[in-house]
Structure formats: structure tokens, C-alpha cells
Amino acid sequence: MERNIAQAVRKGGTLGALIVNACNRWGDRPALADPNQKLSYTELGEHIARAMTVLSSFGLQRGSALAIMAGNHVDVIIVNCAAMLLGVRATPISMLTSDADLSFILADAEIDLFAVDASLKHRMEAMREKMPPCLYLGCPDFSAQLAAAQPALLQSTAQTDDIAVMGYTGGTTGRPKGVVHTHSSALAAVQMAASEWQWPANGQVLAVTPVSHAAGILAYPTWLNGGTFHMLPTFDPDSLAAYVRENYIGATFMVPTMIYRLIDHAKAHGLDLSPMETILYGAAPMAVPRLIEAIETFGLIFQQLYGQTEAPTCIAYLAREQHDVARTDRLGSCGTPHAGLDLALLDADGLPVASGEAGEICVRGPFVMQGYWKRPEETEAAFAGGWLHTGDIGRFDADGYLHIVDRKKDLIISGGFNIVPRDVEDAILGLPGVVGCAVVGLPDPKWGEAVTAAIVCEKPLDAAAVVAHVTDARGKVAAPKAVHFIASIPLTPIGKVDKKALRAMLMA
């Protein structure tokens, strides 16, 4: 009995309580904005209270399931916040999700209400026969219902152990898996980000990537500090720069491919990003030569984040001042681990590797997922030995910086040798004219797997030169057996290289 009482006392808060406290605390300060409207904290609270009434009218209550597939606009945030207060679990879905994966996720997550962007109306009608049974809510057409609704009491009924968010993995190696985060684990991630990331002094934070993924977490630390969370519906360098200057944006999040576009645009046309203090980046590795270009072009404003859906964005980070162009080895790292977690590099037997050696990155901490939805065997495997196994292979350098060697499942075994695709990619990205590269292993009767490079170039490049360059940089074993020059590298909805799609494309 005493143990149960102690456990209850130690439980944390909820995202719903965070939202209510922010609305009450900051009052008339601007809280949420997109190009069409801006809401104060008081107005945000009023909108959320009305949204709670709308969601309740569809039968949603604590424990119900809501899916949201929509772009970056105010209504999306309001619907999500209302779910957090009601104790409704939210499943964000990218608008780029395939029809097959969409149908699977809605059924697998047992969705009660699907909030869909109005622009997707025709797609939903065409898919109607393939969709599992659930109710639909048009968004942002939801605004009309919101205006007519009576506000509910602005209070959170969610409990610490309730599921807050159930995001799905990208599905690059099979069907997506539902990753379960309770209010406790989600709030822990928010507090870790708020305490250790470098936030702008003026509190103006912008999302240009989908708020349904990594960018969405930026809203909560912003509100903790009384700042304004802005959103742009699409990414365009000129529009971004104009919005940044007009609204004094101090921070944003981007995936590496977006930063590459900024660099290229700045070189061709110029680009003024003042007063930007911080560009957070992550979701995929950034090529060191391009990162140096970015620093030389825009200044020391970059901060790298490393995490995954199972342990969101807070495993390690490389702060702005650690982006030293004279230390290319450090730029290739993902920084140092957050203070609020345990991190170990483990071998195949679950034992720590020797100093300087590579091992699987395994973590423990309050921000780690509860498990995979309805997949007990995979959950058990992910938590083998009491650690979350990330599937990433990493090593620490002498200064304590964590380097991601590669994904465990992406390791290429060719002729009995283990080849790390990231090593080959880094070598190829050092060649003049290369703007993108991905390396995979393809079945080969002689080698087992053949190292195969897919390259995007801005000027002609000879395949033999690529092979020779990699041979010099990484050795003959790592040299590609085949080199393909392609127009673009396939990406998942969250901006990572889709190696499943790339393998299929190259094999075809």
C-alpha cells in the first residue's frame, strides 16, 4: 500500500495541464500564429474550450482516439490541444502517407475520429471503400463548428498514464508501428527540450516542417516560456526569410534537405535570415561539407538534435557554439547526451563496448516510449536488458561526443566484410558537385550484398571517379560495386532517406 502511494505521488503532470497553465499565466501575450491569424493565450484558451465541445459532440471522451492529417495552420494545433485536455489520444499522420499505410494506421490505431485537411476531401472520397469505419471532421472547415460551439470548462481531465500521442514509425522496412507515449513521457521530452536547447531571447519560434511530426514539439517549450508559436504552411526560402524578418522569428526547425535549399538559394540570389538566432536540425544526418557551407553562409546559428519516435529528439544535441568548422570530426557528431537520460553503447550480448568502439545506442529515461501498440513481442525486444535499443550504431570520441555510425539494419555485409553506408556516403559527399547521396546494399550472387551508391549531382561526374575516391578514402572493400546518378533521392514523409524505396528503385 505504501509503495502504491509513493508511486502515485511521484507521477508527473500532463500536456493538458501545461496548456491550461500557459493560457492562464500569459493572458494577452500572443500565443499562436499562422499567416492568416494570431491568437493571444486567452484567445487560444477560448478556442480550445470550444474545440473540446466539438470533439465531445462526436462522442470523444477520455481514452478515445483521434487522428489528424492536415497542414500547418491554427486549427490543427487547437484540435490537438483539445484532445490533450480531454485525455483523447492523438495520432498525427503525414499528408504524404500512402493510401495503403493510411488505411492501415486508421485501423491499427482504432481511430474514432479522423480530422482531415479540407484539401484532401477528394482523396478521402476516392478512398472511402478502403477506409476503416470512423467519423470524419473537416479541418480547417472545423472553424465554423468551432465558432458555433459553447466553450467547455478549460480544465484538463487527462491523467499522467493516459496515452497522449501515438505516432507511427515511417514504415521504411515494413508496416508502420504505433509508438505509444503517455502524458508523462511526452511531458518529460518537453521539459528536457525546454531546459537544454538554445531558445531565442524573444520567444518567437516558427514551424516550417509539419507540426504533426518533430516541429510540433516546439509549441510546448515555447508556451512554457510565454513565447509565440508560428507556422508556415509550406517551405520556400524567400517566403521564409520575409516571414522571419516581419515577425522577428528567433528559432525554427528544419531537416537537412531544407537547409541545402537555403544554401543554394543564398548563393544564387542572396538570403537575409536576420534576426534568426537558432536553426535546429535533425531527422536525418547532415553532410559535413554542406554544414560548413551553411555556417559560412548564415553564421553560427545551427543546433543539431538527435532522437527517434521512440525517444523523441532528446537523446543528444550539438549546441551552436560546438559547430566549430575547424573541427570537422565534431561536426560529424550528434553532440553530447542530454542530462536527463542514461546512454550506453552495447554489443550483441547486451554488454558495454570498450572505450572508442562502436555499439548499439541504448537509452533509459522518463521520455522513452511505453512500447509499440499491440506488439508485445517487438516491445519486449526493443527493451531487452532494460534499455531502449535504438537500432543506431554509435561510438564516443575522446571528447565525449557521440557519433552515429549507421543504422543497425542498414549495415552492409559484402564478401564477409561489414561496411557502414554512412562512411561511404560521407566520402562521396566530399566530391565537388555532389548535392545528395545514399548508399545501400543490394543482393549479389558473388558478394552477398553489393555496395550500391545513388548520387544526385549538380554537374556531370564520372562513376569511375567515384569508385576511385571512395577506395582512397575508405578502402577497396567499401568502394561501390555500382554507381547510379539519379534526379532525387526518395524520402519518407518526415524527410529521412527512404532506403526501402531506394532499393526497390535501384533493383528495378
Using one digit for the tens of pLDDT, what is the confidence trace for 209-257? 888 766 888 999 999 999 999 999 999 999 999 999 999 999 999 988 8
Q: At what angle do helices 421-429 and 288-298 cross, to 10 degrees?
A: 50
Which pLDDT belongs to residue 176? 84
Which fold does the domain 235-408 belong to in CATH?
Rossmann fold (3.40.50)
Answer yes or no: same fold for 2-189 and 235-408: yes
Closest of 346, 16, 360, 272 to residue 164, by C-alpha: 16
3-state secondary structure of 152: coil
Tell which CATH architecture fits domain 2-189.
3-Layer(aba) Sandwich (3.40)
pLDDT, position 456: 94
pLDDT digits (tens, 9 = 90+) for 142-159: 778 888 999 999 999 999
Q: Could you give the percent of the chain with pLDDT greater than 90? A: 67
- Among 262, 260, 254, 261, which residue's Cα sits nearest to residue 283? 254
E strands, 109-202, in order: 113-117, 135-139, 163-168, 178-182
Work out the end-to-end distance of the chain between its first and last CA atoms, rounded to an integer number of angstroms. Answer: 63
* Model confidence, pTM: 0.83
Q: Does domain 411-507 have CATH number 3.30.70.600?
A: no
Residues 125, 105: Cα–Cα separation, whole Å: 18
pLDDT for the residue 172: 42
Domain definitions of the chain by residue range: 2-189, 235-408, 411-507
Q: Which three cell numbers stand for residue 249?
A: 522569428
Per-residue pLDDT at 173 exceeds 50: no
